Amino acid sequence: MAPPGLIVKIPISVPFNNLQNYGDPEGITLRSALAEKHRVRIEEVVLGAGIDDLLALFCRAFADPGSAAITTLGTYPTFEYGAQGAGLEIHRVPYRNDAVDLEALIAKAWDVNARIVYLANPDNPSGSWQSITDVQEFKRRLPPDALLLLDEAYSDFAPAVADMDPSDASTVVLRTFSKGYGLAGLRVAYAIGTDSVVRRLDRIRMHFGVSIVAQRAALVSLNDPHHLANVVADTNESRERLARFVRTRGLKPLPSHTNFLTIDVGTKARADALLQDLLHRRVFVRKPGLPPLDRCIRITIGRLRDLDILEPILEEAIAALKG
């Protein structure tokens, strides 16, 4: 284990060779870079093979079987897979006005004495975003024994994010290299919390779970903030263009602070029909499966040239809708 607060500086131009060797099981170089970026200590950073991996680990490490976990009905379902695998009892509250209902989550957390509370901000699949002030107030009003898992996978596209406070033992913030950094296939993410939180995950995590390639690619990405800024700017431009396109074809885009656009098609039947039509035309999009967002489809934002291909196909599919 690295000494407390140690920041290890290694040139990130290290070539992608020696793949016959195991990578660093503690990810010291990448954790050091992340600690420097977020102005925290290395002991307050833990790596995982994607946020999915970390969510499951936190459920195992911080809640006994039968404990209550709180989430939003229809939000990112992989949290529930991890919670169910840990034997937790899941309680759900519905969206309100197509966004996460913070008041309902607070009430439910107190009602069932929640041990784990899950909040995705920005949210998937609604695309909605809660302000920094609202999230801070939300955290303050949760039960004292609840651990908030704040999933900020889409934070690169959010209007603003709060500074991380690893001294807050009631909250863990999760980030990923899958979205803005474009490394989804490599599976690398991290969480920031108190050093006691990180030590508990060290007892159960897969120590070679984040590969040497993933760690090196993440380091290179961190060293190129201009690329990330360009990706975010291009994504925002493409998302606004797609929103204008579907709006002029009679559909309603929901407000989005992510790299996808959720589109209100009107009814579940129409959304199902549009999804199947697009699949028939060899266009793969997603569709929320639970109300109220089951009336929507969700399209990941591509490059502008991808929209040049998508738009005429989408226009034909929209025109073919009935009812």
DSSP assignment letter at 168: -
Give the C-alpha separation, 91 to 212, whole Å: 38
Concatenating the DSSP letter of every residue in 198-260 gives HHHHHTTS-TT-S-HHHHHHHHHHHT-HHHHHHHHHHHHHHHHHHHHHHHHTT-EEPP--SSE
Given the structure tokens 């897979």, which residue do they identify? Answer: 81
Report pLDDT for 19. 79
* Mean pLDDT value of segment 219-245: 95
Q: What top-level class would CATH report for the domain 28-223?
A: alpha beta
Sorting pLDDT into bands at 50, 70 and 90, what band is 68? very high
Q: Is residue 118 within a helix (H) or strand (E), and if so which, with residue range? A: strand 116-120
Give the C-alpha separation, 238 to 305, whole Å: 9
Lowest-pLDDT choice from 86-95, 115-124, 157-166, 234-243:
157-166
* Mean pLDDT value of segment 136-151: 96
User: Can the peptide bond before residue 159 be classed as cis, meaning omega within 30 degrees of 0?
Assistant: no
Q: Is residue 93 within a helix (H) or strand (E), and if so which, with residue range? A: strand 89-93
Sorting pLDDT into bands at 50, 70 and 90, what band is 233? very high
Quote the pTM value: 0.92
- The CA angle 310-313-317, to the nearest 5 degrees, is 130
Highest mean pLDDT range out of 200-204, 206-210, 261-265? 261-265
pLDDT at 10 over 90: no
Give the C-alpha separation, 65 to 298, whole Å: 34
Report pLDDT for 166. 81
Sorting pLDDT into bands at 50, 70 and 90, what band is 323? low
Q: Is there a shared CATH topology between the 28-223 domain and the 226-319 domain? A: no
pLDDT at 12 over 60: no
Report pLDDT for 165. 82
What's the mean per-residue pLDDT of the chain? Answer: 92
Of 182, 188, 193, 181, nearest to 208 by C-alpha is 188
Report pLDDT for 22. 85
User: What burial class does residue 13 get, using C-beta atoms within 10 Å of its C-beta: 0-12 exposed, 13-18 middle, 19+ buried?
Assistant: exposed
Tell me how many helices (H) and strands (E) the chain has: 10, 10
Please say whether the beta carbons of 50 and 188 come within 8 A.
Answer: yes
Q: How many whole angstroms from its chain centre is CA 314?
A: 27
Report domain extents, the chain.
28-223, 226-319
Instruction: Compute CA distances 55 → 25, 188, 249, whole Å.
Output: 19, 13, 39
Q: What top-level class would CATH report for the domain 226-319?
A: alpha beta
pLDDT at 161 over 90: no
